[in-house]
Amino acid sequence: MARLHLFDLDGTLLHGTTAPVEISRQLGREVETLALDRAISQGRIGPPEYAARVYELWGDLTDAHVDAAFRAAPWLARIREVWAEIRNAGEYCAVVSLSPSFFVERLLDWGAHAAHGSRFPAVPFTEPVDPAGVLSAAAKVTVADRLCAEFGLARADCVAYGDSSSDRDLFAAVPLSVAVNADARLAGLATHRYTGRDLWDAYELVASAR
């Protein structure tokens, strides 16, 4: 039976940072974005407010900034190799993240079957961000269900990889989960735990598990 491997982005594929922080770094606005990251992690703001506020910081954002942020970001090692191995095994891999879709979707070029992020307008912005398109922890499960239907799978066939509270709902919905450099709250919910900077080592924890 094939499986669907669902990867978070911020703090998971990206080590110790988030896509918005890396994007903001290109504009000299990382301090403001780090404060927003703390606010959302502490539950003081929700995903729609977070999205609206980073959107306000990115008025001068261009595709060149996003490309530079993507290239310079501290990715875990061997992401493409893991996804190639998953494909070779006849399985599926997808990224589901609260970060902006225009950043997340660049991972399709690395071998992901699907990449879903919060829906932002195209860069450079000429329209506001729509709160209805911003993903949440619960929305990650909805996306996973949609991908399962697309690939002919069920939740029982899924493996989730994540690091924080935005992954709690998904970890609760699937039978196998890997807490990757995760906070203690999420690590306690995972079936497996990994600390390090190489995705292959995290993947190996569940590669043969069924």
Q: Would residue 108 count as lying in a domain?
A: yes
Number of other CB atoms surrounding residue 121 within 10 Å: 16
* Token pair listed for 185: 């709250």
* Model pTM score: 0.96
Question: Which CATH number do you get for residue 154?
Answer: 3.40.50.1000
Q: Would residue 33 count as lying in a domain?
A: no
Please give the residue range of the domain that contains residue 174: 4-16+74-204
pLDDT-derived band of residue 210, with 50, 70 and 90 as boundaries? low
What is the predicted pLDDT for the residue at 184? 85
Query: Whole-angstrom Cα distance, residue 50 to residue 15?
Result: 20
The DSSP element (H or E) to which 149 belongs, if any, is helix 137-151
Domain total in the chain: 1
Q: Would residue 95 count as lying in a domain?
A: yes
| Contact assessment for residue 135 and residue 98, using Cβ atoms and an 8 Å cutoff | yes
- For tokens 């589901």, name the residue: 96
Q: Would residue 66 count as lying in a domain?
A: no
pLDDT mean across residues, the chain: 96
What is the predicted pLDDT for the residue at 186? 87
Q: For 86-111, what is each residue's pLDDT tens digit?
A: 999 999 999 999 999 999 999 999 99
What is the predicted pLDDT for the residue at 173? 97
Q: Would residue 181 count as lying in a domain?
A: yes
Q: Would residue 91 count as lying in a domain?
A: yes
